[in-house]
Structure 1
């Protein structure tokens, strides 16, 4: 049940984690499905998360504002969780959001999960503009 999942990178800046052999990075090719058995579709979730980020941050023109970050992060995770519950109610979800000013400093994150690789999954989406980075991670645990 323990997983140490490979990363599947896509052109839209997202990273999706899966141990499913069909989504192993070495076997990914154009047009392949990122749907996990049991219903967690990392490609669909990545696109939805990116839409939630863009709707809250207003596209590429929004400037980083320290005073707005807590409002933005809370709104993004709330939007993501609402949409996830509509997509599939057979999961318990955890969503995190980090917004960081783009000023040359580094950010290193890591996560580890002990779960059922056949049904559970996760996805991280990185979004950026000229003034900030936003990283949203979603963890889906089958009920």
Structure 2
């Protein structure tokens, strides 16, 4: 297991994950307008890109990524999560991204491999 640590010891870096998620969302949705027919494709692409980029870091974590895309109509959206884990190593981040026609909410959960 030692090869996983190789200078990457420490807790989950949520700021780094935030940046990865934002880049992935921009890369998939960019300046597009909301389109019901593209939502399934967008959400699948966003979670796959996020997972790929997170795993490329080579850090000893298992990742879970969720994504929700919602058209801006004035309706409310509330999300919450709760985790029972080792707060010194494990972590999560949630990114809320928007453009003029939609919201995108992506959550990343990282659980250290023991």
Settle same-fold status: TM greater than 0.5: yes
Q: How many residues align?
A: 105
2:41 is aligned to 71
Q: CA deviation at 1:40?
A: 1.6
2:88 is matched with which residue: 101, 118, 134?
118
List gaps (5 residues or longer) in structure 2. Answer: 1-8
Deviations 1:94-113 (A, max 9, x none): 00000000000001111100
Which portions of structure 1, spanning 4 or more consecutive aligned residues, are displaced by more than 4 angstroms?
A: none
List gaps (5 residues or longer) in structure 1. Answer: 1-36
State the distance in 2 between where 1:73 and 1:124 align: 15
- What TM-score comes out, normalization by structure 1 length? 0.71
Deviations 1:60-92 (A, max 9, x none): x31100000000000000000000101133000
2:18 is aligned to 46
Indicate the RMSD between aligned Cα atoms, in angstroms: 1.1
- What TM-score comes out, normalization by structure 2 length? 0.88
